[in-house]
Amino acid sequence: MNKYTELSDFEINLLVAQSVLPETQYDVIKQTMDIIQFLVDGSFGYRFFDPCNNPSDAMTIIIENKISVIFDTGCKEWAAGIAYWVDGYEWQVSDEVRKNNPLRAAMELFLIIKDAENEG
**pTM exceeds 0.85, yes or no:** no
Quick one: pLDDT at residue 78? 92
pLDDT at 49: 86
3-state secondary structure the chain: CCCCCCCCHHHHHHHHHHHHCCHHHEEEEECCCCCEEEEEEECCEEEECCCCCCHHHHHHHHHHCCCEEEEECCCCEEEEECEEEECCCEEEECCCEEECCHHHHHHHHHHHHHHHHHHC
Residues of the chain with pLDDT under 70: 24-27, 29-46, 95
